[in-house]
Amino acid sequence: MELLSWLGQWAFAPMQWLVIGLAIILAYIVFGIAGFGTALVAAPILLLYMPLSKIVPLLVLLDFVAAFGNLLPSRRDVARSELLRLLPCMAVGCTLGVIFLLNLKSDLLLLLMGLFISAYAIYSLLIKTRPTQLSALWALPMGTVGGMFGALFGSGGFLYAIYLNSRLPKEAARATQSALISCSTVVRLSLFVIAGVYAELPLLVLALCLLPAMALGLWVGRRLTMKMSREAFVRLVIWLVLASGLALIVRYLNA
């Protein structure tokens, strides 16, 4: 009864629960294929029902479970030198992002989220070839901004991907990115715990209820990688992400 009482504090209608569940499934299908991007897919939908300051910690809890599931099979391919180069910068960025998330006004975050998602989608659609090799010095801005975006918007993984894919072979880049995102979720989770975000039991109960949707999404995502072109699917998702980002900007302007 107490569990139902905590869950009831969200006051979602049955149809809203269905939409939220489908958003989580779709987000983790993308995660199962690309290794990042849950907030880019799920946040625009979840923003209809809860503030961004709740969505990001919720997705961090789910990402924490999903990221380690992705890392375990490929941990031997991790490029430790690149991981150690990016980790300190990511930790600094995560700290800044949590501070901004807990102190900025919600309407400003809505606009920033829309601009961030739209810029990422446009960049991804324009980039069609593998970038030239970046200098190791790029780890400083990529790691810091990626960590800040990860804490602030729930997804800075695309910046890690840009950097790592320019310096490492495909399998090593993917494995190192999974390790970095795993570490990122630990850092963000720890910062949210210190900030007292998870003292709200209804948020923890909501995450627990959404674990089956997350697991289903991961399972589907991993199966899809075996049956279709990863690039084609991710490109389709990017168009959906762009539409979501533009919708958030329009929503902010209308408000």
Radius of gyration of the chain (CA): 17
Tell whether the model's pLDDT for residue 34 goes beyond 90: no
- Residues of the chain with pLDDT > 70, as a percent, come to 83
Band (pLDDT 50/70/90 cuts) for residue 210 is: very high
Higher pLDDT, 199 or 58: 58
Q: Would you call 79 helix, strand, or coil by DSSP? A: coil
Distances (CA, A) of 134 to 130, 166, 184: 11, 6, 22
Tokens of 240: 């959906």
Tell whether the model's pLDDT for residue 29 goes beyond 50: yes
What is the predicted pLDDT for the residue at 217?
93
What is the predicted pLDDT for the residue at 99?
83
CA distance linking residue 37 with residue 42, whole number of Å: 9
Q: Mean pLDDT over residues 14-35, rounded?
A: 88
Higher pLDDT, 141 or 188: 141
Q: Which of 15-29, 141-155, 213-227, 241-255 has the lowest mean pLDDT?
A: 241-255
Tell whether the model's pLDDT for residue 68 goes beyond 70: yes
CA distance linking residue 65 with residue 60, whole number of Å: 9
Which of these, 108, 100, 91, 253, lies nearest to 186 by C-alpha position? 91
Rounded to the nearest angstrom, the gap between the alpha carbon of residue 87 and the centroid of all alpha carbons in its chain is 17
- State pTM to two decimals: 0.73
Band (pLDDT 50/70/90 cuts) for residue 70 is: low
Higher pLDDT, 215 or 178: 215
Q: Which of 42-46, 96-100, 246-250 has the lowest mean pLDDT?
A: 246-250
Band (pLDDT 50/70/90 cuts) for residue 1 is: very low
Distances (CA, A) of 60 to 54, 111, 126, 186, 226: 10, 21, 29, 9, 27
CA distance linking residue 213 with residue 77, whole number of Å: 29
Distances (CA, A) of 211 to 12, 61, 68, 104, 129: 17, 9, 14, 29, 36
Band (pLDDT 50/70/90 cuts) for residue 211 is: very high
Q: Mean pLDDT over residues 17-23, rounded?
A: 94
CA distance linking residue 151 with residue 159, whole number of Å: 13
Higher pLDDT, 232 or 54: 54
| 159-204 confidence digits (pLDDT tens) | 787 788 778 876 777 778 778 888 888 888 888 888 888 887 888 8
CA distance linking residue 227 with residue 148, whole number of Å: 34
Query: Mean pLDDT score of the chain, rounded to an integer?
Result: 79
Give the chain's end-to-end CA distance (angstroms, integer).
Answer: 39
Band (pLDDT 50/70/90 cuts) for residue 73 is: low
